[in-house]
Amino acid sequence: MKAAILSGTMLALCVATSGSAAPRANERYCIEMAEQGGPGGPPQCMYETLAQCVASKTAPNDRCMLNPWLEARERNGR
């Protein structure tokens, strides 16, 4: 019984905290931050418009692009 209550509480906590803190990988545009001439990690896909992405660039080598995951999904008809 205690295990069931604990499991339910943990599930509720996960659902409650997964809202706005989670990265929004479904947005249309991504930014790839440049670090010393190379990519600085995976693209951050959190922009609805290209203008929003461009406005958030912090270095000349930062690159805005279409979300590669959404692009692949659209190409495959999903």
pLDDT of residue 18: 41
Question: In the block, which residue shows the tokens 């930014």?
Answer: 31
Domain membership flag for residue 1: no
Dihedral in degrees, nearest 10, Cα atoms 45, 47, 52, 58: -20
* Cα–Cα dist 36/30, whole Å: 19
Q: Looking up tokens 């996960």, which residue turns up?
A: 14
Range of the domain at 66: 23-78
**What is the domain count for the chain?**
1
* pLDDT given at position 73: 78
> What residues of the chain score a pLDDT lower than 50?
6, 9-23
Strand positions, DSSP E, 1-78: 29-32, 34-35, 38-39, 44-47, 63-66
11 inside domain: no
Q: Is residue 9 part of a domain?
A: no
